[in-house]
Amino acid sequence: MRVMISGGGTGGHIYPALALIQRLKERGLLDDVLYVGTQRGLESRIVPEQGIAFKTLEIQGFKRSMNVDGFKTNFKTIQLFMHSIKEAKQMIREFKPDVVIGTGGYVSGSLLYAASRLKVPTIVHEQNSAAGVTNKFLARFVDKVAISFESVSDQFPMHKVVLTGNPRAQQVAGMVPNQRLSEFGLKTDSPTVLIFGGSRGAPSINKAFIDAVGQLNQRPYQVLFVSGQVHYEHVQAELAGKQVNSNLAIVPYISNMPEILPDLKAIVGRAGATSLAEITALGIPSILIPSPYVTNDHQTKNAQSLVEQDAAIMIPEAQLTGDRLVIALDQMLENPDDQHAMAQAAKKIGIPDAADRIIEVIETII
């Protein structure tokens, strides 16, 4: 089949799209693919690196402020949207896709709206527990809405909704321990927790770790801490003069982080959709610290979906301290029965065949 796909701005939109493309290739179902994004988004770098054909549309989001600058920006946004629809229609006519898929971001709004006007089969995929603005808009026009969390279903027309999970989960579901912990000077046979704050790191999580180092030095489990590249020097400066025992490893970044997930007993981190898809596919207990700086506080809603199923512990960022972090880690890692129960609950939530489920939806509409 010929597929046009669009997801822009953040990795949370891009990586599910790439995971779906990969699965289509693995199953021999993909004749050709075109990815449509923006020049400014991460997709402009990530997608071409994967050897996938890539084109761009110029589009931007609305400003919520209603002052003069906000009005001018929003007027330009409308102009760009109308122009991008015209360009998107031309791309669609030239590529002749069997289906057009959107995974979020403003750019997918233009492409899928254009496809719906041209009567091309369309699907949007919502990764989070709170629907994005673009996907809410598109839900009126597309054929199907694929969701990752049952709790978001009531935000879309019910007759269009299909629970599929996040395609990213299928990329990691079959992974097995591969002894990568030794790369960081850690033992491969000791319980290990990963602490990280997303691709760029999170100052609040970094501070909690720094404050907890003295206690973590004495724990029977290991900690692999990822500060984020931009924060690494600051973290090292804060730790200067403090003892850091061999059960703690501190790094700025981990390439291909999903590879180490099967070697972990627990994860501490944000509650982005991609991270939750990965940890539930593998059944890893987690301590979630949702970012309070995301649209509609959707990470808190994501985390709550796991907490309600006893698959995770949530600590609001405003309540995060070094002591609170250690208490939660001890609760999880020093009680094998509780840890096992959380792992089983997480795996029950995970949908390891998510990409295949979306492919089934595609096949029903083309």
Domain span including residue 61 = 2-166+353-365
Domain count, the chain: 2
Indicate if 200 and 338 belong to the same structural domain. yes
Indicate if 288 and 253 belong to the same structural domain. yes
Q: What is the pLDDT of residues 265-293, one digit of tens each?
A: 999 999 999 999 999 999 999 999 999 98
List C-alpha distances in Å: 230 to 60, 226, 254: 27, 11, 14
Model pLDDT, residue 68: 47
Which whole number is the average pLDDT over 185-201? 92
Annotated binding residue at 178? no
pLDDT greater than 60 at residue 311: yes
pLDDT greater than 50 at residue 103: yes
List C-alpha distances in Å: 363 to 41, 270, 312: 30, 34, 35
Annotated binding residue at 11? yes
Q: Which two tokens stand for residue 65?
A: 């402020």
Instruction: Find the CATH number of the domain harbouring 19.
Output: 3.40.50.2000
**Are the C-beta atoms of residues 104 and 7 closer than 8 Å to each other?**
yes
Which whole number is the average pLDDT over 289-305? 92
d(CA 298, CA 247): 34
Annotated binding residue at 41? no
Annotated binding residue at 274? no
Q: What is the pLDDT of residues 315-327, one digit of tens each?
A: 999 999 999 999 9
- Burial of 30 from C-beta contacts in 10 A (0-12 / 13-18 / 19+): middle
pLDDT greater than 80 at residue 237: yes
How open is the CA angle 138-2-4, to the nearest 5 degrees? 35
Least confident of 177-181, 193-197, 230-234: 177-181
Q: Which amino acid is at 101?
A: I
The predicted model scores a pTM of: 0.88
pLDDT greater than 70 at residue 355: yes
Residue 171 lies in a domain: no
Indicate if 161 and 262 belong to the same structural domain. no
Annotated binding residue at 199? yes
Indicate if 130 and 192 belong to the same structural domain. no
Annotated binding residue at 10? yes
- If we measure between CA atoms, which residue out of 4, 111, 90 comes closest to residue 47? 4
DSSP for 244-271, please give it: --TTEEEES--TTGGGGGGG-SEEEE--
Indicate if 212 and 76 belong to the same structural domain. no
Q: In this structure, what DSSP letter does residue 130 have?
A: S
Annotated binding residue at 12? yes
d(CA 5, CA 18): 9
pLDDT greater than 70 at residue 221: yes
Indicate if 112 and 248 belong to the same structural domain. no
